[in-house]
Chain A
């Protein structure tokens, strides 16, 4: 049972690394977002360090969303998706594994880049660690929720923007608890663990809802 899952995981990982280095583009976009914000709010380091966790989270959200539109579309365009539906493997698991590979190729680099980008925003080491940890736990939820949007827009030529519009409202809880957990770690009186555990719960819920909903959408999309 595991060999087909591993084959799918490795194939998706290979594809995302080889096709235009999507991991690099995501991190680059993340960097660009973080660079642009100070031009808007001004270079005041105190202000930046206060809103730093939020900037990093929003940057990660946008970078995740922009990378998602090809998650299923590339497979649909060349007929792979039809064959996957016929392969005799549970589609929900297929979606989950594809999301996992996608997260490792594009989400994990964002998490790794976060501490570096936090330097630009003058975050304290503690805040840096907190933001990175919340991103590590929270970005899988963004990918899994985004997969629903990717599955719904799979048949559209230019689904990328619509995907973002569909998914952003669904991603709001993740953003709320991600940022508040990171903030709680910085400002003392608020407990860190409460929002952090809720964030973990959100990721786990997304790991169920995302694949089930995406698989249903993909079955309909095969018309």
Chain B
């Protein structure tokens, strides 16, 4: 079973070495095509003008921010249920990438919102949910940083990730409810009635490019994490090894 074959970190590293150049190449191509299409092929919006092009970054980033959390949730299941040795590496490596995509979608969203709402930030249900997601990502990253032992930290973070995954729909629902309670339909909806194919195609290509970017970064981060843990083990071993030169030395008073 291939999935379990790559439980061995060494074998996994070898796989990464083979796959990564191809994946990187594909990612660059997809971005080249995506940027070309979104800047030169896609039409201007008759209402929003050029600013609509922010959408080609914003929407894929927002999509990735959620996909990344799903991958972390699956990885956490892998840590707790299947005890897959690379699962917590995968979850840990995904968190900063997810946080970065979430942050990117928040920043592009507020830049896009400025001309439309007249302010960088409104407490719109969707924006608020994404902000909560960002806080959860940052909290998870802090939890990983705070614990010294990567295995213990991985388990703790896995529990929090799964609780978060169960809670996210509830958070989303209550934020929606809170928002409509206070602000009945005063915020413009972003998704128009139908999406024209001229807009849809660049968007899809950009989404593919972002997904490829995620996998490239994720594999690189996992490789770094595995190497980092090996360095840690080596240093721990270095501390315990007895030192040959020490036996005869004593302090000499300088008289």
Contact = CB atoms under 8 A, between A and B. Distances in A.
Interface string B127-156: 010011001001100100110000000000
Contact of A20 (B124, B145, B183): B145
A28 B182 contact: no
A32 B119 contact: no
A117 B183 CA distance: 22
Report, nearest first, the 10 A-B pairs whose CB atoms are least far apart: A43-B123, A20-B146, A42-B182, A21-B145, A119-B120, A38-B123, A120-B121, A28-B138, A119-B121, A43-B182
User: Which of A28, A43, A119 counts the most chain B CB atoms within 10 A?
Assistant: A43
Contacts of B122: 43, 45
Contacts of B123: 38, 43, 45, 48
Contact of B121 (A24, A39, A42, A122): A122
A205 to B, nearest CB: 34
B70 interface: no
B178 interface: yes
Nearest to A27: B138
Contacts of A19: 146
A120 B130 CA distance: 13
Given A44-B182, A45-B122, A119-B121, A35 B110 contact: no
A35 B131 contact: yes
Contact of A43 (B138, B145, B146, B179): B179
Contacts of A35: 128, 131-132, 135
Interface in B159-201: 178-179, 182-183
B142 A21 contact: yes
Contact of A25 (B124, B132, B142): B142
Contact of B178 (A20, A28, A39, A119): A39
B135 A43 contact: no
29 contacts: A20-B142, A20-B146, A21-B142, A21-B145, A21-B146, A24-B138, A24-B145, A25-B142, A25-B146, A28-B138, A28-B142, A31-B138, A32-B135, A35-B131, A35-B132, A38-B128, A39-B178, A43-B122, A43-B123, A43-B124, A43-B128, A43-B178, A45-B122, A45-B123, A48-B123, A119-B120, A119-B121, A122-B119, A122-B121
Given A24-B145, A42-B182, A120-B131, 11 more contacts: A19-B146, A25-B142, A25-B146, A28-B138, A28-B139, A31-B135, A35-B128, A35-B132, A38-B123, A43-B124, A43-B128
A59 to B, nearest CB: 13
A30 to B, nearest CB: 11
Q: Report, as a range, how many residues of chain B touch the other chain.
A: 20 to 34
Interface string B77-112: 000000000000000000000000000000000100
Given A35-B135, A122-B119, A24 B142 contact: yes
Nearest to B131: A35
Contacts of B120: 119
B145 A28 contact: no
Nearest to A48: B123
Interface in A1-59: 19-21, 24-25, 28, 31-32, 35, 38-39, 42-45, 48
User: Which of B110, B123, B138, B182 counts the most chain A CB atoms within 10 A?
Assistant: B123
A120 B146 CA distance: 28
A45 B142 contact: no
Contacts of B131: 35, 120
Contacts of B110: 119
Nearest to A32: B135
Contacts of A32: 135
A21 B141 CA distance: 10
B177 to A, nearest CB: 11
Nearest to A31: B135
A38 B175 CA distance: 11
Contacts of B179: 43
Contacts of B132: 35
A28 B138 CA distance: 7
Contacts of B138: 24, 28, 31
A39 B129 CA distance: 12
Nearest to A20: B146
A29 to B, nearest CB: 10
B244 to A, nearest CB: 31
